[in-house]
Structure 1
């Protein structure tokens, strides 16, 4: 399958998702600068969502740059991943209206969890596609990504889920802090060669 078409389709979907997220930002009725303060919770949620998708796109680009050809399994895994990603604007908007409310935060956690499973599955399919294509270096490059290694460690993932459940029960807003830390310290720790793939 043509890799370029799949990448272009993915880029378009992610661009639409980001556009939907900013369109959820409500312009204040008042012209007083203080009127924007009501939108601070959504701006926080939006910033986290934007960072989330930006880091995910970079990792996705890296994995696909390492891969020569796309199998049907990779194509469908990519679609599942994009499907879970498409729920981020809904979760972002709801959390923005209730930053410390259990319902929105639990929904965000569910979206994040499903997204993580879909991302891990996509990564795994890409590793297998590269192994089948006799590209062990590409497969190992994807396998060595910090985010993949973290998701492969069921003990660490289990601890994160337990901590998130406790946080959601007693201090829901802290869930967004956990997501942000995950994005920065796990998702955004890119492989050393990630900015040299085309040099």
Structure 2
């Protein structure tokens, strides 16, 4: 199967996810800038989630760029990832509306960790299909970054039972880790691989 339809479908779902998130932002009923103050938790939740969805879109694009063909297993693994991504607007809204209280922050972390696991499964299936010497396999390497982030998510979820501030800082840390591009992946995908 050609990967074009998978890419187009995934892009469309991710665009809808972002649209749903922004539609959850309610306009204040005042023209005063102070009217935005009660909305800061909702805005902060939206910004963090927008970054996460953007990171997944970007990494998904790079991953599919490195593969030639897909099969039914890849389609199901991709749908599994899209399922967990589609829950981000719900947990984002719940967390923001409740000013980062324990259970919304815990559920937000569970959705994030499930997204990470789903992405890892998709990557593993693609790497197996492409082979150990493929560009994708060389770009991912041992994938320490993903494993570290799953651990950070688990710590963040546990921390929410003590203080959600630590959890939120850890969620932000993972976003920063993924926001910084991996130059090695770019080099390998571009065909400018250097021996390390």
TM-score bucket of the superposed structures, by smaller chain: 0.7 to 0.9
Instruction: State the Cα deviation string for residues 107-158 of structure 1 (Å, max 9, x = none).
Output: 1011111111111101101101111xxx72323234238xx323346xx744
Instruction: Give RMSD over aligned pairs.
Output: 2.3
In 2, the alpha carbon distance for the partners of 1:57 and 1:103 equals 27
Change in CA separation of 1:10 and 1:198 when aligned onto 2, cut-off 3 Å: farther
Alignment match, 1:180: 172
Change in CA separation of 1:177 and 1:87 when aligned onto 2, cut-off 3 Å: same
Alignment match, 1:139: 136
Change in CA separation of 1:162 and 1:2 when aligned onto 2, cut-off 3 Å: closer
Q: What is the DSSP-based 3-state SS (H/G/I as helix, E as strand, rest coil) of the residue aligned with 1:118?
A: helix
Change in CA separation of 1:115 and 1:149 when aligned onto 2, cut-off 3 Å: same
Q: What is the DSSP-based 3-state SS (H/G/I as helix, E as strand, rest coil) of the residue aligned with 1:173?
A: helix
Q: Is the 8 A contact 2:140 2:185 kept in 1?
A: no
Alignment match, 1:171: 163
**Structure 1 residue 38: Cα displacement:** 1.1
In 2, the alpha carbon distance for the partners of 1:38 and 1:12 equals 32
TM-score normalised by the chain length of structure 2: 0.88
Q: What is the DSSP-based 3-state SS (H/G/I as helix, E as strand, rest coil) of the residue aligned with 1:13?
A: helix
Alignment match, 1:48: 48
In 2, the alpha carbon distance for the partners of 1:90 and 1:176 equals 17
The gaps in structure 1 that reach 5 residues or longer are: none
The question of 1:189 aligning with 2:186 is answered no
Q: Is the 8 A contact 1:55 1:187 kept in 2?
A: yes
Q: Is the 8 A contact 2:81 2:118 kept in 1?
A: yes
